[in-house]
Amino acid sequence: MFKLILTCGACPEQYDVYEGDRMVGYIRLRHGHMTVDCPDCGGDLVYTANPKGDGMFEDDERDIYLREAVEAIARWMRDGPAFRDDSPLPEVDYEIDGNPGW
């Protein structure tokens, strides 16, 4: 189980991602561009996307993109920085800590 700690709710919407006590990822959405770095901001870029939301996700897309981000982090943890996008997706689950009341 991955834990996403909401560190900013909008402009950008961003999360620190933990597995247990270890930070394993950083998710950020700003100006319609989402990035996921491992194990922290400025680390290996493991996922990018362009959601509809500008400074925060639209309600109908948050779970979709956060799940894809967590899957990319899990893949990076399994395969390292040279992971392949076409490798089978691992089973992942996550919870958000710090929900601002969307």
Residue 27 pLDDT > 90, yes or no?
yes
Q: Give the pair of three-digit tokens for residue 78.
A: 């399994």
Instruction: With H, G, I as helix, E, B as strand and everything else as coil, classify residue 12.
Output: coil
**For residue 44, which of 5, 8, 76, 20 has the smallest C-alpha distance?**
76
Q: Determine how β-strand 33-38 pairs with β-strand 2-9.
A: unpaired
User: What's the confidence (pLDDT) of residue 93?
Assistant: 82
User: What's the confidence (pLDDT) of residue 101?
Assistant: 59
pLDDT tens readout for residues 45-91:
999 999 999 999 999 999 999 999 999 999 999 888 765 556 666 67
Q: How many CB atoms lie within 10 A of CB 63?
A: 12
What residues contact residue 83 under an 8 Å CB cut-off, 6+ apart? 46, 75, 76
Tell me how far apart the alpha carbons of residues 57 and 13 are, in angstroms, rounded to a whole number: 7
Domain ranges of the chain: 2-97
